[in-house]
Structure 1
């Protein structure tokens, strides 16, 4: 049996009257390999069906099924590479951590996990499959952050320079709703490859200028990470978008098409979908303390989680002191000596798992153990306030904007690097 065409077959039971074996029935099909892993037709179909469902709900026109198939496979390649890297790193998302994430998602939508299950099943999807999709998404996000964070360095001079720019902008800073299409240039591209990519980029711009829908063209043509979302990058200020984009969008108006802009990744096409004055949102700051345990060869994932669960039980019973436990056990050198305490901080600067868990707590409440990219934590919310516009708050904001910009740039470069090192084979449709 050709492995490229069939993952497995099922043999039907012998017919009582005919005594013959029925023909094998196709269960699933392998459409490609990524290193030692495989991409299945069922995975491709699931992504395509989800995109079609979302497009139908929003009345959006989609490109051909062939274009959707290419984009779905591209997304699965990226996901598979990150999951394989996560496995080598020993990164696992426990059922407890997954349930906590789902509960946070449901709470943000004003419901419960039971409501979420009902909604997913009403759309025709399996809730168990939905859970596993979320587990994979959390894993890929954590793998990406763990590997990209180490590539990011922000100097004090960069923060000071940005603070001066922000002071000059005052309340007049603008935000842009950006659509993005990337026509990529492969590694080691020849002059002909580059010219061909530039020609394709020019054709895309012509189609957009002729009034064709941006999202549809992005799904069909873009190699960007948000291609299946129609290239939607959302609202960003110029201080947090990649430098190449920031220079290009300044002074542009709604519906302007920009590009092609050349970078090491390829040719970028940007649509300014809307412009607004920066939305002034009151900044919430929190004071908290936590205990971090980092799994290792000596300390397993389950042992780290169970140790923290024991701490929580003792703390809630009044049989232990948080500061003493943090000083003895926490592996966060920055806070352990202070009893695990963090000073007033904008919670958006924390990694998502830590931020979401912390913000779901009431004052003085202690969380259940949860996993982040750094390891296993428990956290206690000590105080919460609406921040004033202190110098510290401004510096934190500037640092976060610089981080957002560099993370976008470095994450794409990282994804390209692991692709170049991988063995990828996508089979032609028969």
Structure 2
């Protein structure tokens, strides 16, 4: 029997009786096949139950279970494809990296990991299952970053052009809290399929204009990646949005319903949920240098960390030179040849763990080894200053806006391409 047939017919069961005529009792079953992997009913039920619980806490109405099931399966398909990609890339999240993330989550909630564990278990969930869910989230984020970053190129001319636009708009201080619903169109869709999608999009707008709750409609109707979050994209400036959204949102007021907007993916409906202005603030900039060691099949997580512990000890004792160690050992191609040094930079442009490590240091202090998605680092703070909208800060901000816009667009394109190349079979259900 081939793998596809085996997976398609698979039902996990266990006998609760030792007798020869024991009746098998179903404990789980396969509801979908994604390449060489499967999606289990228990996984779908876990997502649905979590969404229901959150909706109950927020007093939010939800669509029928059948609709939630479709959304949950879609999410699991995308997650499975990304985890399979991670496996092919040899990307694994170590327990130490996972614990560091959990500690950060707990800290944001005003406690430690023990407090976080108590909160999770008091809600009726398994902390071990929660840990593994966070591990999957970190993995999918890193897989996306690794595959999408290399698709993005930002030229100096693009940054210059955006800076001119920002200046002509008086630095455009507005940010928009955006809700998004996507009515997708199949690849190579016929004229009838496109017309049908347009009818459904118009119906969604009609519901919204009649005052129906946006989040509920998004959960039941959207094919966007944030459907189960009620289509919430969060706060964005005009220059951080996909171009299609930016043109449509500009000048609109709170509660405006926009669309349907046609793209290659389908018809988009946008709601401007709230608008706020950015406050002009002074920017703290830091000058630093670091050494990056990347774990690999040859070099374990522990060996990479211990290697940096040794470097830090030598540097503090004055028996080694930071620049020379960086040139010889650092695996950051952008800074290694410069002795690991970064020029004056707004620390918010760094990944959170790197930013936090830098801002916790005193002048010339060297950090303990810490982990980011790029590997293990030690960093030295060479200087800190407050800059009032310096040219460098403006340029960094413009670059970040361009990157965020392109990252959103390319993330969607990459996921679509991955899905089109995959074998996906959703099994019929009796529900």
TM-score, structure 2 normalization: 0.92
Which residue pairs with 1:225 in the alignment?
Answer: 225
Where 2:169 maps in the other structure, the secondary structure is helix
1:284: Cα distance to partner?
3.1
- The answer on 1:51 being equivalent to 2:51 is yes
1:346: Cα distance to partner?
1.7
The equivalences for 1:5-404 within 5 A come to: 6-12=10-16, 14=18, 22-170=22-170, 173-295=173-295, 299=299, 303-315=303-315, 320-359=320-359, 364-372=365-373, 374-404=374-404
CA 207–307 in structure 1, closer or farther in 2 if over 3 Å, else same: same
Q: Where do 5+ consecutive residues of structure 2 fail to align?
A: none
Q: For 2:359 and 2:33, locate their aligned partners in 1 and report how far apart those are by CA, in whole Å.
A: 41
1:165: Cα distance to partner?
1.4
CA 64–362 in structure 1, closer or farther in 2 if over 3 Å, else same: farther
1:352-378 CA-to-partner distances (Å, cap 9, x unmatched) read: 453455456566241324141x34333
CA 162–338 in structure 1, closer or farther in 2 if over 3 Å, else same: same
Q: For 1:7 and 1:23, locate their aligned partners in 2 and report how far apart those are by CA, in whole Å.
A: 14
TM-score, structure 1 normalization: 0.92
Q: For 1:308 and 1:189, locate their aligned partners in 2 and report how far apart those are by CA, in whole Å.
A: 55
CA 113–266 in structure 1, closer or farther in 2 if over 3 Å, else same: same
1:9: Cα distance to partner?
2.0
Where 1:236 maps in the other structure, the secondary structure is strand
Q: Where do 5+ consecutive residues of structure 1 fail to align?
A: none
Q: For 2:356 and 2:197, locate their aligned partners in 1 and report how far apart those are by CA, in whole Å.
A: 41
1:324: Cα distance to partner?
2.7
1:300-327 CA-to-partner distances (Å, cap 9, x unmatched) read: 5554344334434555666544333212
Q: Is the 8 A contact 1:285 1:346 kept in 2?
A: yes
Range 246-255 or range 312-321, more displaced: 312-321
CA 361–207 in structure 1, closer or farther in 2 if over 3 Å, else same: farther
Q: For 2:302 and 2:117, locate their aligned partners in 1 and report how far apart those are by CA, in whole Å.
A: 27
Q: Is the 8 A contact 2:292 2:331 kept in 1?
A: yes
Q: For 1:129 and 1:357, locate their aligned partners in 2 and report how far apart those are by CA, in whole Å.
A: 29
Range 309-318 or range 396-405, more displaced: 309-318
Q: For 1:375 and 1:57, locate their aligned partners in 2 and report how far apart those are by CA, in whole Å.
A: 38
Which residue pairs with 1:418 in the alignment?
Answer: 418
1:210: Cα distance to partner?
1.2
Range 279-288 or range 43-52, more displaced: 279-288
Q: For 1:135 and 1:381, locate their aligned partners in 2 and report how far apart those are by CA, in whole Å.
A: 30
Q: For 2:356 and 2:141, locate their aligned partners in 1 and report how far apart those are by CA, in whole Å.
A: 14
Give the root-mean-square deviation of aligned CA atoms: 2.3
